Amino acid sequence: MTEQVSVVEQAIDAHHSYKAAGNTDTAREYRRHIRRFVQYLEEETDVGIEDCHSGHVEDFYQHMLNEQGYAPSSIRVAHAAISDLYSTIEKFGENGRRGFPQMDVGDDPTEHATPERIDGMFSDSKKEVEGGEKPLEIHEVRRLVNHVPAPTVRNELIVRLLYQTGIRRSELVRIKISHIDRDSRKIAIYGKKTDESRTVWYHGTLDSLLSMWLEADRNEVFYAEESEYLFPTRRQVRMDEQTVTDVVTTAAENAGLQETVYENRGGQKVKRVGAHTLRKSFGVHFINDGGDISLLADLLGHDDIETTKENYLKYSDTDLQKSVRRHGPHI
């Protein structure tokens, strides 16, 4: 047991050092919450960070709220801290890089554990607010592309890939160069913790931009030579998901497209445009152009077509009406 605690402590210290390189205050706050979570698991459960699941994490949030009196805002920070710990261990733990011990924590338990499900958190989601998940118009996507921040080649490629394929940001950062078939313009997409892939396709309009990135600009990135991923950065072999969000939200601000959709009951301002907005826009534009809903479900990686119908057909009433009038029986 002593050795196991030592490994966890090594991971916490390595995570703190990694975060402190960006922001010491955030690193300090994250470490406090992570230590509380580890202590909670030791005292209240028979599992550790290597084998806990989403139920343990949500019980911890409930414990913070009801037993320790933390405010909802603090619980959201705890969620961000624990989630960041798992994603960072996933990057560096397998090979023991950046001071991390070699360890495998399995599936990220925070992926399906959200503070918003805890009674008393008083938080809404975009789905619960009318217009909260509104997709971009095609001309707005063009404005977004034209206003990406530097480095422009990389960031334009990020935005256009998200829009042309409908992939998630978590899938984008996991694309390896070997996953791309440039002759057929297709990409094998892998999600978190899965060996199974699905195929998405991009248009020839990306050929020159992709070539510029792969054959020139990418080579200037510090970690490019040792990275197998499409998007390395100057700090690591694979880009963070948050960086993808930052690229899209900054472009939206630059383009004058960003706006506060609503302020939830927790006092947080929820913005209209994020990385997921491009996935939503891809799906809606696909349907509006006559694409088949079952094919869209496959492209988006939905296990249940009802999820696709619920999230995308509601934006296509006009086009469904046109389709019925054109193709439906008249007698």
State the Cα angle at 259 between 257 and 260, rounded to 5°. 160
Task: Name the pLDDT band for 320 (thresholds 50, 70, 90).
Answer: low
Residue 151: asked if its preceding bond is cis (omega within 30°), the reply is yes
Look at residue 123 and tell me whether its pLDDT is greater than 50. Answer: no
Look at residue 131 and tell me whether its pLDDT is greater than 80. Answer: no
Mean pLDDT over each residue of the chain, to the nearest integer: 84
Where would I find the H helices in the chain? 2-20, 24-44, 54-62, 72-92, 138-146, 152-165, 169-172, 207-215, 241-255, 275-288, 293-300, 305-312, 317-327
pLDDT for position 289: 85
308 vs 143, residue with greater confidence: 143
Residues paired with residue 199 on neighbouring β-strands, in sequence order? 188
Rounded CA separation 261/259 (Å): 6
- For residues 241, 242, 247, 253, the Cα torsion angle rounded to the nearest 10 degrees is 140
Judge whether 276 and 169 are in contact, CB under 8 Å. Answer: yes
pLDDT for position 328: 60
Look at residue 122 and tell me whether its pLDDT is greater than 70. Answer: no
Look at residue 127 and tell me whether its pLDDT is greater than 70. Answer: no
Average pLDDT over residues 5-13: 85
Average pLDDT over residues 42-53: 88
Rounded CA separation 71/187 (Å): 43
Task: For the chain, list the domains and their CATH numbers.
Answer: 2-123 (no CATH), 124-324 (1.10.443.10)
DSSP per-residue codes, 84-118: HHHHHHHHHTTTT-TTPPS----S-TTTT--GGGS
pLDDT for position 223: 86
Judge whether 201 and 165 are in contact, CB under 8 Å. Answer: yes
257 vs 309, residue with greater confidence: 257
Look at residue 175 and tell me whether its pLDDT is greater than 60. Answer: yes
Task: Name the pLDDT band for 108 (thresholds 50, 70, 90).
Answer: confident
Report the share of the chain in percent with pLDDT over 70: 83
Look at residue 154 and tell me whether its pLDDT is greater than 70. Answer: yes
Average pLDDT over residues 130-157: 89
Rounded CA separation 41/231 (Å): 35
Task: Name the pLDDT band for 51 (thresholds 50, 70, 90).
Answer: confident
